[in-house]
Structure 1
């Protein structure tokens, strides 16, 4: 097996460029905005869809790294970040609600993800579940409560095709897509997004902590006129708050050891 290069080919970073704790938005344009929630934010690098800023929280080095859209580019980012020393990852982004009672503007704190994508099949059989780390889930829940954000714990659908979800009727496999969507809803899935499954599967393989907090931006299953909510403040604040909780817990654990 080939050794990893000193500078990671895709994210353009090496050991020391980031610390343990990393937030993972999809959109490169959100990185600078998220970094403003850090102390001492600094731009580090940009290559392809991967934009990186670092800063500190409670004196600990943290980073935000964009992953682009979908599981293939997300898996590359996580692979290379793990290789340079990161071990705690929180996906932060937007999603579509899948249960009629979910209100745009609320948060989905992910406990797991439906592997409705192809990337993770290159890592583990489909029967292996994509699950978030319990420590990260509880930290996100605590941070959401502190920020007075409405939230739902549950499973997301990680898909490969945005338009396969939003316009399934025009796809040659429409009946297949609609049948599976109905099954995900009946199973209680809370939201649909495109990256969490890869993050969670890699977390299991590499024994690193992973989680996700998603803004429910819209809900195609809700009755009445379509409502879109795109203010990410509560989502970002919850992710940052969860990192602070994890940093404090990690320090206490290290002192007790």
Structure 2
């Protein structure tokens, strides 16, 4: 994409971005994440896509909301990649699929179950949705340094929020319940709506991709006890800092991406 061409959905130009992007789904999270960068400033907003820009160790980093679900997330990944972004990190919230999850525990996602429709427009469902290993390691290191509970594992990415939360009222109730239990028994740790799109579209476009989400425990989902997103945002920005340091060969201010200790509550 030329430097002066406006991206159709994001309303950004190539000069507005750098090589790194943080991708919350919620526009209300953009400014809070950007506040953890240096020299943060608002850039653009169109529809569900809001973008702020800042720097980490002098490198430009954008924070762009994707909206909910695969279709709008794929739009954001497509247009950011066309503008020159080469590393994208989803930052979001999810419901836990495990009974032992601590409310607010982070999930560093290594892969995603493609139980949605968007990525099937890119690659057959047999193609795995997996994270870039260096992003996974950067996220593990950042979570370990922050001292927050976290685990690594697979997300269930879906299209229908209420199909998961209220399956009993759907015509496909038995089918939905059986599939969800299958994913859980297979080891999936959380259910969300964007990670598969980031991983698969990123793979097609040659983008380095990762995802970290803050999980609501099953009890919290029932009571509405929302945990703080502060550790999530701080971990994501610190992971970008580690990647910038590794990419530029300057690791003076960042510990190695591989944590010395095993993940807290890791699986």
TM-score range normalised by the length of the shorter chain: over 0.9
Aligned to 1:21: 20
Aligned to 1:243: 240
Match of 1:233 among 206, 226, 230: 230
> Does the 8 Å contact 1:31/1:53 carry over to 2?
yes
> Normalized against structure 1, the TM-score is what?
0.93
Confirm or deny: 8 A CA contact 2:3 2:15 kept in the other structure. no
SS at match of 2:51: strand
- Once residues 74 and 97 of structure 2 are traced to their aligned partners in structure 1, the CA distance between those partners, rounded to angstroms, is 25
2:182 corresponds to: 183
Structure 1 portions without partners, runs of 5+: none
**Cα deviation, residue 125, structure 1:** 0.3
In structure 2, what is the Cα distance between the partners aligned to 1:243 and 1:110? 15
Structure-1 residue corresponding to 2:91: 92
Q: Once the 2 structures are TM-superposed, how far is the Cα of residue 221 of structure 1 from its aligned partner? A: 10
Please identify, of 114-123 and 201-210, the stretch whose mean Cα deviation from structure 2 is larger: 201-210
User: Residues 66 and 221 of structure 1: is their aligned pair in 2 closer, same or farther, counting only changes over 3 Å?
Assistant: closer
Shift, 1:16, TM fit: 1.4
Cα displacement (A) at 1:135: 0.3
Query: In the TM superposition, what are the counterparts of 1:40-189 in structure 2 within 5 Å?
Result: 40-189=39-188
Q: Secondary structure at the match of 1:238?
A: helix
1:28-55 deviation line (CA, Å, top 9, x unaligned): 1111111110111000000010000000
Residue 3 of structure 2 contacts residue 14 of structure 2 at CA under 8 Å; is this kept in 1?
A: no
**Displacement, 1:5?**
8.7
TM-score, scaled relative to structure 2: 0.90
Alignment of 1:192-207 (within 5 A): 192-207=191-206
CA contact (8 A) 1:96 1:220 kept: no
CA distance in 1, matches of 2:209, 2:218: 25
User: The residue matched to 1:16 in structure 2 has which SS?
Assistant: helix
Unaligned runs of 5+ in 2: 251-267
Given the superposition, is the C-alpha separation of residues 59 and 221 from structure 1 closer, same or farther in structure 2, using an over 3 Å criterion? closer
Secondary structure in structure 1 of the residue aligned to 2:15: coil
Once the 2 structures are TM-superposed, how far is the Cα of residue 229 of structure 1 from its aligned partner? 3.1
Rounded to whole Å, the distance in 2 between the matches of 1:142 and 1:167 is 36
Cα 1:5/1:199, change in 2 over 3 Å: farther
Superposed displacement of residue 220, structure 1: 5.8
Runs of 4 or more consecutive aligned structure 1 residues displaced over 6 Å after TM superposition: none
Q: CA RMSD in A?
A: 1.9
Q: Residue in 1 aligned with 2:263?
A: none
Pair 1:252 & 2:252 matched: no
Q: Name the CA distance, whole Å, in 2 between partners of 1:232 and 1:135.
A: 23
Contact 2:33 2:233 in 1 (8 A): yes
Aligned mates of 1:14, 1:205 — CA distance in 2: 22
Closer, same or farther in 2 for the Cα pair 1:124/1:220, shift >3 Å? farther
Does structure 2 retain, via aligned residues, the 8 Å contact 1:218–1:228? no
Aligned length: 250
